[in-house]
């Protein structure tokens, strides 16, 4: 409508309509009480499903005002993850007026403590809690997609940016603290100390495990942004309220630890407070990580928050970890193992490996079967040739044919008797080692086949050396009958065995 009105003027020099539009939009957004319209396009369910336990690591990095860079494709998903992350910070999505440039700062020096509180009003409660945190102020900015033309802005102290250009990720004079690849789902910390600083405690892991479970149990494949049956559990509103509770509890614990530290010399028992009599402030901070909360105290965002909140903030919000006391050593080990296996992404990696192995086995087996088919065909052909030769020999020598029993196999008649008997003193053997006709014939054919192959290889090698190849002597399989203690017959070195074995021509 505004565009049509602007062009209907037929005078591009008349731009008064544009400032009026800007002022109208700004006033409408600044005075907006309902944040639901600002959450359009974000998906906390997909963010938690994507980064799982490390979603809380991102929140901790945001509170420390570190330099966070998202990298990958497509651009829409790249920006969606960043806006979803910002929506986890209570009230921050509605207060990004000074996030466009590191030179903008609307809150520093003007922070005031609230003088009233209406617990039934969420906005009033957030203001009393000092939220939203002044994450993007002087020297900090937010750019969901950073073009190369604005790369100099990375010299700022704190930022949250996204890029699809690897050149941006490799700048030496404006380095990131955490690089997140949305394609590989990897977290790359430049400083190992920072990685340990934002690592999750056992209570953190137990709490995030419940958050992840609420998303997985209600996961809707058809529409990942909404839980099954449109239930509240696992929805974006449910996740947002859980992270809001976590952040408020952490801030309240900071105030309570300061209160305890300032009154440690008193013998008064603080009824209704964790630790009762003279508690140790370090034990109060441990469930959230004492190192992380102490690092947060050094940020500019914490200084603004301290100036705009009441010292007795813990009277409104309980200074206790949402999962304090519920994490045991055994359960923590189980959660670590589960997340470790999930980070390996075995389903994805082994899926491709299984396909590759299956394809290789299929190709190898088919090749092997074809090779055996070729060997079997050639052996069968040689067996048929031997049968025909024996038939011709039998036809040419009737006496030899009648003196030797035959067994019909296929279409030819092959000898099943003993080629000759040898015994000590020329007498017949008392015990005969017989070989079945089919086996003997097949073995002889296989021996002939491989013998011919060896002969051809020898001839080829001799030809390569320029030496005439020596013909290889081959003959059919022979069987000899021996008596115990008898000597083997002379076979010209073609075969040999023990006195109880079978002598052949080496095939």
> Tell me: the pLDDT tens digits for 333-354?
777 677 666 666 555 555 566 5
Whether the Cβ atoms of residue 113 and residue 86 lie closer than 8 Å to each other: no
Predicted confidence (pLDDT) per residue in 37-79, tens digit: 788 889 999 999 999 999 999 999 999 999 999 999 999 999 9
Q: Both tokens of residue 353?
A: 């490996």
CB of 150 closer than 8 Å to CB of 40: no
d(CA 303, CA 133): 10
How far from the centroid of its chain's Cα atoms is residue 76's Cα? 23
pLDDT 10s digits, 457-467: 566 655 555 55
**Measured between alpha carbons, how far is 83 from 98 in angstroms, rounded to an integer?**
16
Indicate whether 361 pLDDT > 70.
Answer: no
| pLDDT tens per residue across span 177-225 | 999 999 999 999 999 999 999 999 999 999 999 999 999 999 988 888 8
Per-residue model confidence (pLDDT) at position 186: 94
Q: How many helices (DSSP H) and strands (DSSP E) are in the chain? A: 17, 9
Measuring CA to CA, how many Å separate 368 from each of 371, 372, 457? Answer: 5, 6, 22
- Flag whether pLDDT at 403 surpasses 80: no
Residues 288-297, mean pLDDT to the nearest whole number: 96
pLDDT value at residue 374: 74
Average per-residue pLDDT in the chain? Answer: 77
DSSP 429: P
Give the pLDDT confidence of 105-163 residue by residue, as tens digits. 887 767 788 888 888 888 899 999 999 999 998 999 999 999 989 999 999 999 999 99
DSSP reduced 3-state for 472: coil
pLDDT the model gives residue 301: 94
Give the contacts of 152 (CB within 8 A, at least 6 positions apart).
174
Q: Are strands 186-189 and 178-181 parallel, antiparallel or unpaired?
A: antiparallel
Within the chain, all domains assigned CATH 3.40.50.11500 are found at 32-344
Q: What is the pLDDT of residue 441?
A: 54
Task: Identify the CATH number of the domain defined by range 32-344.
Answer: 3.40.50.11500
The model's pTM is 0.64
Q: E-strand spans in 82-241?
A: 140-143, 158-163, 178-181, 186-189
**Model pLDDT, residue 427:** 41
Confidence of residue 369 (pLDDT cuts 50, 70, 90): low
Report residue 406's pLDDT band, with 50, 70 and 90 as the boundaries. very low
């Amino acid at each position: 409508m505004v565009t049509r009105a602007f062009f209907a003027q037929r005078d591009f020099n008349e731009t008064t309509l544009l400032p009026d539009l800007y002022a109208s939009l700004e006033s409408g957004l600044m005075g907006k009480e309902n944040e639901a319209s600002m959450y359009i396009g974000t998906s906390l369910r997909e963010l938690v499903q994507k980064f799982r336990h490390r979603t809380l690591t991102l929140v901790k990095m945001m509170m420390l005002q570190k330099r966070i860079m998202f990298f990958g494709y497509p651009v829409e998903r790249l920006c969606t993850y960043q806006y979803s992350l910002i929506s986890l910070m209570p009230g921050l999505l509605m207060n990004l007026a000074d996030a466009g440039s590191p030179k903008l700062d609307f809150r520093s020096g003007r922070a005031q403590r609230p003088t009233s509180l209406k617990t039934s009003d969420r906005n009033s409660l957030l203001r009393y809690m000092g939220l939203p945190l002044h994450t993007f102020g002087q020297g900090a900015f937010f750019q969901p997609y950073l073009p190369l033309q604005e790369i100099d802005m990375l010299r700022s102290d704190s930022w949250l940016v996204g890029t699809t250009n690897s050149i941006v990720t490799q700048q030496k004079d404006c380095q990131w603290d955490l690089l997140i690849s949305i394609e590989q789902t990897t977290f790359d910390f430049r400083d190992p100390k920072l990685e340990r600083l934002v690592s999750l405690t056992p209570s953190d892991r137990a709490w995030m495990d419940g958050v992840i479970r609420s998303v997985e149990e209600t996961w809707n494949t058809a529409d990942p942004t909404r839980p099954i049956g449109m239930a509240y559990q696992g929805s974006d509103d449910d996740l947002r309220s859980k992270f809001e509770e976590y952040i408020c509890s952490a801030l309240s614990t900071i105030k309570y630890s300061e209160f305890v530290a300032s009154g440690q010399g008193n013998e008064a028992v603080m009824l209704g407070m964790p630790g009762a009599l003279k508690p140790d402030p370090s034990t109060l901070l441990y469930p959230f990580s004492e190192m992380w909360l102490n690092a947060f105290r050094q940020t500019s965002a914490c200084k603004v928050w301290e100036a705009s909140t009441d010292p007795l903030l813990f009277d409104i919000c309980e200074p206790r970890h949402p999962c304090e006391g519920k994490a045991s050593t055994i359960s923590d080990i189980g959660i670590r193992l589960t997340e470790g296996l999930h980070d390996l992404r075995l389903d994805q990696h082994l899926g491709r490996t299984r396909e590759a192995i299956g394809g290789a086995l299929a190709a190898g087996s088919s090749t092997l079967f074809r090779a055996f088919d070729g060997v079997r065909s050639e052996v069968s052909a040689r067996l048929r040739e031997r049968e025909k030769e024996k038939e011709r020999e039998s036809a040419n020598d009737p006496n030899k044919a009648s003196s030797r029993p035959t067994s019909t196999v296929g279409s030819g008649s092959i000898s099943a008797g003993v080629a000759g008997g040898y015994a000590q003193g020329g007498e017949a053997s008392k015990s005969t080692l017989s070989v079945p006709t089919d086996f003997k014939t097949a073995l002889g054919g296989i021996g002939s086949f491989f013998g011919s192959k060896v002969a051809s290889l020898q001839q080829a090698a001799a030809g390569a050396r320029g030496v005439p190849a020596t013909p290889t002597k081959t003959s059919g399989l022979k069987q000899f009958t021996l008596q115990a203690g008898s000597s083997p017959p002379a076979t010209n070195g073609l075969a040999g065995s023990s006195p109880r074995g079978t002598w052949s021509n080496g095939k």
